[in-house]
Structure 1
Amino acid sequence: MRTLLVALPGLVLAGIGLTHPHHLDASTAQWWQNMHIILAVVFPLLAAAQWVLLNDSPKYVRYPARAAAFGYAVFYGALDALAGIGGGAMTLANGGRSPADEPLFEIGNQLGHVGAWCFLAASVAIAAWALLKHRLKAIPGAAFLLFGSFLFLDSHIYWPKGVLACACIAIGMAATSYASASGKAEIDGSTRT
């Protein structure tokens, strides 16, 4: 169940990314705004998934990585609120883009960039700990998670790169969770014999 739950946010984001307009204008503003209201709930769930994957890590890994996951949720959430919801609302109100909405996108993108780097930092900690603890079993999950997190730095969830990033993050989180669960089952089995 944990494996499915940690994969779900990335899968939902990849699905929504298929509908993300590439440009904000009067014809896309309503969906742009409404989609980002939905995303305001889903984006933080990626941080929650990272938080869960860090459960069995030592404090020296868990605390800084969870701080990074929190940073992702805060700063990426600001991008979503400003450029997503706010930008869409302003475009609707103005009947199209205007120079007045540029500051929303500028500060939103700067904050989102910080958030994406925080996400990558937490993913690096998750992958490194999984590789140290589970070795070969952790390689697929670590590879997908790191590749997806790297793509996420500058792709948001736009098709095709952003959708690929979110799908890789989902696969990486699921595979990391599975490796952790199977490693725990092996340890539990060996202590019973």
Structure 2
Amino acid sequence: MRTLLVALPGLVLATIGLTHPHHLDGDTAQWWRDMHIILAVIFPLLGAAQWVLLEDTPMPVRYAGRLAAFGYVVFYGALDALAGIGGGAMTMATNGRTDASLPVFKIGNQLGHVGAWCFFAASIAIAVCALLKHKLRAIPGAIFLLTGSFLFLSSHIYWPKGVIACLCIAIGMAAISYVSAPGRSAIEDSTVT
């Protein structure tokens, strides 16, 4: 169940990313705004999944990783609220983008950039700890998680790069959760002896 739950946010984001408009204008503004209202609920769940996966890490790494995951939720949430919801609402009100919305997008993108780097930092902590503890079994999950988190730095959830990033994150989180599931190593140890 844990494996499914940590993968679900990335899968939902990838699905929604297939519909994310590449340009905000009068024709796309309503879906842009409404989609980001939905995303305001989904994006924080990626940070919650990181929080769960950090449970199995040494205490200093756990606290630093969870601080980074919290930073992701706060700063990426600000991007979503400003450039997503606010930008879409402003574009709807003016029936197209105007220069008045530029400062909203600028600060939103800056905050989102900080949030994406926080997400990447927490993913590094998860991947490194999984590799140290679970060795070869953690390699696929670490590769997928780090690849997706790196792509996420510059892709948001736009098709194709952002959708691929979210799918990689979902697969990576699921794979790391699977190999690090509580009680799993005890079961594997008993089958080896």
Runs of 5+ consecutive residues of structure 1 not aligned to the other structure: none
Where does 1:121-136 land on structure 2 (aligned, <5 Å)? 121-136=121-136
Where does 1:132-147 land on structure 2 (aligned, <5 Å)? 132-147=132-147
TM-score scaled by length of structure 2: 0.96
Aligned sequence identity (%)? 76
Q: CA deviation at 1:106?
A: 0.1
Amino acid at match of 1:25: D
- C-alpha distance in 1 between matches for 2:190 and 2:158: 47
- C-alpha distance in 2 between matches for 1:156 and 1:22: 11
- C-alpha distance in 2 between matches for 1:110 and 1:23: 19
Count of residue correspondences: 192
Amino acid at match of 1:142: A
Write out per-residue CA displacement over residues 100-148 of structure 1, whole angstroms, 9 at most, x where no aligned residue.
Answer: 0000000000000000000000000000000000000000000000000
Amino acid at match of 1:125: A
Amino acid at match of 1:186: S
The CA RMSD measured in Å over matched residues stands at 1.4
- C-alpha distance in 2 between matches for 1:102 and 1:9: 30
- C-alpha distance in 1 between matches for 2:184 and 2:150: 31
Write out per-residue CA displacement over residues 167-193 of structure 1, whole angstroms, 9 at most, x where no aligned residue.
Answer: 000000000001112x83232564798
- C-alpha distance in 1 between matches for 2:188 and 2:10: 32
Aligned to 1:187: 186
Q: CA deviation at 1:2?
A: 0.3
Amino acid at match of 2:65: A
Where does 1:64-79 land on structure 2 (aligned, <5 Å)? 64-79=64-79
TM-score scaled by length of structure 1: 0.96
Write out per-residue CA displacement over residues 144-166 of structure 1, whole angstroms, 9 at most, x where no aligned residue.
Answer: 00000000000000000000000
- C-alpha distance in 1 between matches for 2:46 and 2:85: 19
Please state if 1:18 is matched with 2:18. yes
Runs of 5+ consecutive residues of structure 2 not aligned to the other structure: none
